[in-house]
């Protein structure tokens, strides 16, 4: 896990999302972090069938594979179509899962 402040967001391309993760999905106080080379799981939204990632310009978004690692950080491709109908969605621990990064 990598804290937000340890990533140079200027290096993230516009259509890429940085994968997000948490240590314990069931802990409501747990804050999301950036999935890095130490992580084997990342946040996934089963209802939509997409990964949860962060865009430097648009905040939390949904993405799809293939997942790839660049400079020790996991990335996916933003799926702009997956956002339709899910704007301003509440991402509760009950709605999310931790899926294996593959």
Note the pLDDT tens digit of each residue in 39-55.
Answer: 999 999 998 899 999 98
In the chain, where the domains are located? 4-100
CB count, 10 Å around CB of 57?
8
pLDDT along the chain (102 residues), means of 10: 79 86 83 93 93 88 92 92 73 86 90
Q: What is the pLDDT of residue 86?
A: 66
Give the separation between CA 39 and CA 90, rounded to whole angstroms.
24
Tokens of 48: 């939509």
72 Cβ contact partners less than 8 Å away, ≥ 6 residues apart: 2, 36, 37
Give the separation between CA 52 and CA 74, rounded to whole angstroms.
11
């Amino acid at each position: 896990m990598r804290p937000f402040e340890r990533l140079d967001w200027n290096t993230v391309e516009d259509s890429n999302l940085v994968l997000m993760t948490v240590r314990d999905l069931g802990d409501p106080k747990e804050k999301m972090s950036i999935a890095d080379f130490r992580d084997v799981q990342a946040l996934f939204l089963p209802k939509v069938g997409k990964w949860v990632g962060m865009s430097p310009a648009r905040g939390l978004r949904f993405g799809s594979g293939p997942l790839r690692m660049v400079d020790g950080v996991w990335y996916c491709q933003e799926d702009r179509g997956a956002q339709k109908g899910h704007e301003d969605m509440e991402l509760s621990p009950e709605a999310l899962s931790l899926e294996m990064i593959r």
